[in-house]
Amino acid sequence: MAALTTAPASSSSLATPQAPPPATMKSKPAAAPVSILPGQFAQIYSFIHPALLLSLLVLRFGSVIDDPVTELLHDLPILVVLQVAFAMICLPPAGAAKPSSSPPSAQGEASTAVAEEKTTASRKIGSRRRHAAGKSSSSPSMMGCICAKLTPALLSLTLTSLLATPVLSILLILFGAPLRTHHALTLLCAAHMALLACFPLIYVHGVDGPIWREIWAVSRPVDSVSAGALGTCLGAWFGAVPIPLDWDRPWQAYPITILTGAYLGHLVGVLGGRSEWVFGKRIDFTKEERNVKVE
């Protein structure tokens, strides 16, 4: 009788369980730089505003030398009005536009489908609503738009006064400002710097923790708001250089040169941050790994 033999199972015949494909992880949407609002008046005022700040610095410079405490205190409400007007006219408030996590293709298809449905519906009832609303509908929409921008502006102003100003006062003291004297000058200098640097950042970014971590880490793309804040800090830093020099000039007194440098640095940052060479660029601190042969 023929012997029955069983052939060993080959490796190809054994069914090996395959791991399921890894689930697609949703990538974090790239941070977008803050742009000036596209309206014509916003674009024009975005260039008028730096000129107004520069004129405030030039026209009040002599009075600041004569009586710095009184003059800086009187200039503070003017700076508040200018910064609030700039934020409401030229900048989008926090939460106005957020990046979408959906892919561009799916987002485009969905938007076109929704747009087609809206256009067909609006053609049917659009004319009736226009005649029924009349001129009275313009005023509520305008008031709603103003309130939608005024509320975050006031909240940003409150946070700037309660948080940013004390923090900058402490930083000024840590960087060499008088500790036992000139308390009013230190507080006023910090208030001016906070309105220049921190108020626009709070207005456009709110109190979102991850965004502020990116701001402190200098990992967000550059725009006019972040460049203005950076220019304010760097300008104040370089403005402190003439104070200890033995020139015996009245404008060397603390904190005149610091505030002058802060204003000039803010203007350079705001205008430079809008240029095509800087806007949207990101500072990359990572270094590429290189293969180094050890002999």
Residue 185 within any structural domain of the chain: yes
19 in a domain, yes or no? no
Structural domain total, the chain: 1
Q: Is 153 among the domain residues?
A: yes
Average pLDDT estimate for 29-39: 84
Token pair belonging to 117:
């449905």
Instruction: Determine the average pLDDT of the residues in 204-224.
Output: 90
In a domain, 191, yes or no: yes
Question: Which of residues 31 and 124 earns the better pLDDT score?
Answer: 31
Q: Which of 18-22, 72-76, 109-113, 271-275 has the lowest mean pLDDT?
A: 109-113
In a domain, 85, yes or no: yes
pLDDT in tens, 251-272: 999 999 999 999 999 999 999 9
**Span of 199-208, 230-239, 260-269, 274-283 with lowest mean pLDDT:** 274-283
Q: Is the distance from CB of 219 to CB of 283 less than 8 angstroms? A: yes
Q: What is the reported pLDDT for 104? A: 39
Burial of 155 from C-beta contacts in 10 A (0-12 / 13-18 / 19+):
middle
The whole-number pLDDT of residue 103 equals: 40
The answer to whether 262 and 192 are in contact (CB under 8 A) is yes
Would you state the structure tokens that stand for residue 226, as one six-digit string?
């972040």
Q: How many helices (H) and strands (E) does the chain have?
A: 10, 0
Question: Could you give the CA distance from residue 160 to residue 84 in angstroms, rounded to a whole number?
Answer: 12
12-48 exposure pattern, b = at least 16 Cβ within 10 A, e = fewer: eeeeeeeeeeeeeeeeeeeeebbbbbeeeebeebbee
Q: Report if residue 112 sits inside a domain.
A: no
Spatial contact of 89 and 41, defined as CB atoms under 8 Å apart = yes
Residue 101 has pLDDT above 60, yes or no: no
Residue 97 has pLDDT above 60, yes or no: no
Give me the domain span that covers residue 177. Answer: 40-93+143-283
> 96 falls in which pLDDT band (50, 70, 90)?
confident
Q: What does each C-alpha distance from 121 to 116, 127, 130, 134, 216 come to in angstroms? A: 9, 11, 14, 20, 47
Mean pLDDT taken over the chain: 79
Q: What average pLDDT score do residues 158-166 get?
A: 96
Nearest to 60 by CA among 84, 81, 83, 76: 76
More confident call, 144 vs 75 = 75
pTM of the model: 0.74
Do 273 and 222 meet the contact criterion of CB atoms below 8 Å apart?
A: yes
